[in-house]
Structure 1
């Protein structure tokens, strides 16, 4: 007797909206996905809630989120929470597993997130200081991030997917011990648009295991994965993705900032 497949709550569960992330530029809804007794907290971004951008085609941001997830999985890195394309109460869009995060300010974990702000006089040893600025009260602050291999892998992924919006708040340390990246709607453009707060490794060699993964990915993207991605982004963007990955594999050094818009603003 054939067994029954387990229900896929993320892909097929009924979505019940329980809140909205009001700081997001596009409609970002927190939902519970439910099938019977199985339930999962998710983030739902319907296409109809996307704001137009001058440099990205209208109605493509949710698809870019799904494409970025599939690239992360093809690399074997698990940086992006599982993300699917599906229908919902406000039409088709992307649905992503919600990440429960560590609250470092409420316990003895050191008080700093993996990307954070601190006084310029209190940058922890071993952390990268990305820039100095002034807060709303005119006090100097430093934008910093940890020298953490989990975060470094995310930074390499951002180079491959050409992430134009890696804000500090888009790097989440989960209670499961992983560091996840979210909000990949403006990735995968064919023009160089890398904007990130993770510049700490600029000019450094990319760790060899990550280079091996990227080199294997180059062969994958030219086959079935490329065909799958072409349903979400343009053929030109798939070709640019393959070229960026090949460049990383051939010259495995993290890029330096170039141009005047290399850090997203606001940075969080």
Structure 2
């Protein structure tokens, strides 16, 4: 998703409010995103797709979010046009189903200033930090390993270092998931540090619980069915089963395995 690590430097039309306090309950954040009035603040001047910093106002709560309208998506040869905003939301759904909380709260808005699009909580993060600056921190290894597994499961085709944010409390967030969930292998990431290592057992058990949910949780399956194509959900199930059968961090494949630019 297009959450960014700093605010836009141009095109701001309104006063920029403060981000939501980090202690705001998740259900409050989701209701605020789903029901709030969206006010455009400015176009984020980087990225290939239209991305806007917006204020969201609902029931006396005003804060920042990132809005990616469907109509601002650049056509891609290998992803169906107009589906990137759905994939952003699907990434949040999978992150929550895994219990990992890696992706900021994200919803699909049927209408907005530029029509249908994904709306994601803005993360106030240090612009000098990215995956390359904090990947060697021992305290972050459990989270970063889960992020590597998350990208494998979601078939992330664009995990740049700058898509990994560290917020002001030191929490790691993953953003920009518009080109995930392809039915064909597409994994492109800068996170190859764990290649060849066994995936820790606690992470494997969390993935196993996710696999059970994929099979039995009608609400989860229904939500994914509204966001992804049947063959993409089937591929997600296959990748999950393959990881459980061989719980080892993969090596780069024969295709282009690192995104460009890397940050």
Shorter-chain TM band: 0.7 to 0.9
Partner deviation per Cα, 1:183-230 (whole Å, 9 max, x = no partner): 000000010000000000011111111110111111111232222211
- Displacement of 1:146 in angstroms is 9.5
Question: Secondary structure at 1:31's aligned position in 2?
Answer: strand
Deviations 1:20-75 (A, max 9, x none): 22111101101010024211210000000000000000100000010111000000
Match of 2:41 among 5, 18, 30: 18
Corresponding position of 2:101 = 78
- 1:41 maps onto 2:64 in alignment: yes
* Residue equivalent to 1:120: none
Gapped runs of 5+ residues in structure 1?
106-112, 118-123, 129-144
Q: 1:178 maps to which residue?
A: 171
**Residue 92 in structure 1 maps to residue 108 in structure 2:** no
Q: Is residue 222 from structure 1 mapped to residue 197 from structure 2 by the alignment?
A: no
Instruction: After superposing the two structures, state which structure 1 stretch, 157-166 or 223-232, moved more.
Output: 223-232
| Higher strand proportion | 1
Number of positions where the alignment pairs a residue of Structure 1 with one of Structure 2:
233
Q: Is the 8 A contact 1:68 1:161 kept in 2?
A: yes
Separation in 1, partners of 2:208, 2:196: 19
Partner residue, 2:226: 231
Which of the two has greater helix per residue? Answer: 2
The partner residue of 1:66 within 89, 92, 116 is 89
CA contact (8 A) 1:150 1:178 kept: no
Contact in 1 for aligned 2:71/2:115 (Cα 8 Å): yes
Superposed displacement of residue 147, structure 1: 6.6
Q: Give the Cα separation in 2 of the matches to 1:55 and 1:146.
A: 37
3-state SS of 1:229 partner: helix
- TM-score, scaled relative to structure 2: 0.83
3-state SS in 2 of match to 1:39: strand
CA deviation after TM superposition for structure 1 residue 176, in Å: 2.7
| Alpha-carbon distance in 2 for matches of 1:80, 1:49 | 22
Instruction: After TM superposition, give the deviation of residue 82 of structure 1 in Å.
Output: 0.5
State how far apart, in whole Å, the 2-side matches of 1:255 and 1:116 are.
19
Q: 2:240 aligns with which of 228, 245, 254?
A: 245
- Counterpart of 2:144? 151
With CA pairs under 8 Å and 6+ residues apart, which has the higher RCO, 1 or 2? 2
Q: CA deviation at 1:238?
A: 0.3
Equivalence for 1:30: 53
Matched, 1:101 2:111: no
Query: What is the TM-score with the length of structure 1 in the denominator?
Result: 0.82
Deviations 1:100-119 (A, max 9, x none): 1135x5xxxxxxx34237xx
Q: Which runs of 4+ in 1 moved over 3 A?
A: none
Q: Helix, strand or coil: the match of 2:132?
A: strand
Structure 2: state its 5+ residue gaps: 1-26
Alignment partner, residue 193 of structure 2: 200
Separation of aligned partners in 1, 2:253 and 2:32: 43
The root-mean-square deviation of aligned C-alpha atoms, in Å, is 2.2
